[in-house]
Structure 1
């Protein structure tokens, strides 16, 4: 919960104050400008706290906020986080294992997914603006989410040995993939060439 709260605060600070030109900068997300990325992340938080998460596609979420200003979206995200985090804090331990609205996921995994989503889309914005990637707590959280997702999807087998981020097994045995944790996040989400880690496109968790 603390990690998600911090990620939303960083994301809101990232978009707040962007110029109109920056707001309309193309990103590596197909057909999305920075304003679309920001709209999707904000809508995820809003939909979650309103209890309707999963009812809109990412493109629908982006369109819903496409005409908002950076300051408006930053305020909306802060307001949604201000409602969401206290709600999550009210849940007992058993609630985190209960099924989430999305089939095959728990409440705990759903919250972890929100954290990962905000982190990786924050990196999309930084990359579009030519800024360095964030290597804060969201990076390790995203690596761990991707490990769980690769395992859930039955990918592998392989082991991932990342600089300063530990070693993770996907399945039993297989080759060892070594490298930088942020590059791993980009490769495992289809944002960078899997050849960087000596593997193929099956490492992309969004490939179905």
Structure 2
């Protein structure tokens, strides 16, 4: 894995920061909707707690109930594990923060962006702060843009230049969308809550595109 000396420490640090944030939440905040459509904060926490220990069999076992759709399988499992006590979820995230595995049908190269993005899925709707080092967001951006499915960032954002203002990362051609690497990562994974943090000639065009979807 590229940058393996920095990748897994970044994953561990991100998971631990999420656990710290979750420890500070009120019972009402655990029940609020996250940025991940259809998932409460506790469902996102359930997903994050499960990822390091999930097996392919866990996914196969719920596939019929989820009508064999990958996104639906993910949602069934997230909600199931999200129903656990918050203390159990926090302990699981913290206890497996350094784990470097997941189900064989998944990809450990996705662990960093998954943790970063889902951490923001929790934090932003609650108006909570969850800082992410720019270098960690840069590593995550590189993976999201290389992987294609399910985000298809290169295709969705074709016609724009994306440029991080806090680290060395840029891609694309066309009107510029510039801002923190974290905001660009959220945009690249289909989140629009970051748009206020972005600027450049491409932002108005992007906003118009979002409005007409």
**CA-CA distance at 1:119 after TM superposition:** 0.7
Provide the residue aligned with 1:72 in structure 2. Answer: 88
Q: How many angstroms apart in 2 are the aligned matches of 1:190 and 1:111?
A: 21
Q: CA deviation at 1:159?
A: 3.5
The two structures, once aligned, show a CA RMSD in angstroms of 3.2
Partners of 1:199 and 1:117 in 2: how far apart? 24
TM-score scaled by length of structure 2: 0.68
Q: 1:24 aligns with which of 25, 28, 31?
A: 31
Cα distance in 2 for partners of 1:13, 1:36 equals 17
Unmatched segments (≥5 aa) in structure 1: 89-99, 103-109, 204-208
Residues 1:118 and 2:115 are matched in the alignment:
yes
| In 2: Cα distance, 1:53 partner to 1:189 partner | 25
Give how far 1:17 is off.
Answer: 4.4
Kept in 1, the 8 Å contact 2:42–2:82? The answer is: yes
Match of 1:2 among 9, 17, 22: 9
> In structure 2, do the counterparts of structure 1 residues 150 and 159 end up closer, same or farther at CA, with 3 Å as the change threshold?
farther
State the partner residue of 1:101.
105
Aligned residues: 179
C-alpha deviations, 1:84-130, integer Å up to 9, x for none?
A: 24x79xxxxxxxxxxx625xxxxxxx223111111111111111221
After superposition, the C-alpha distances for 1:165-193 in whole angstroms (9 at most, x for unaligned) are 223334xx544432332221222222117
1:41 aligned to 2:43?
Answer: no
SS in 2 for 1:169: strand
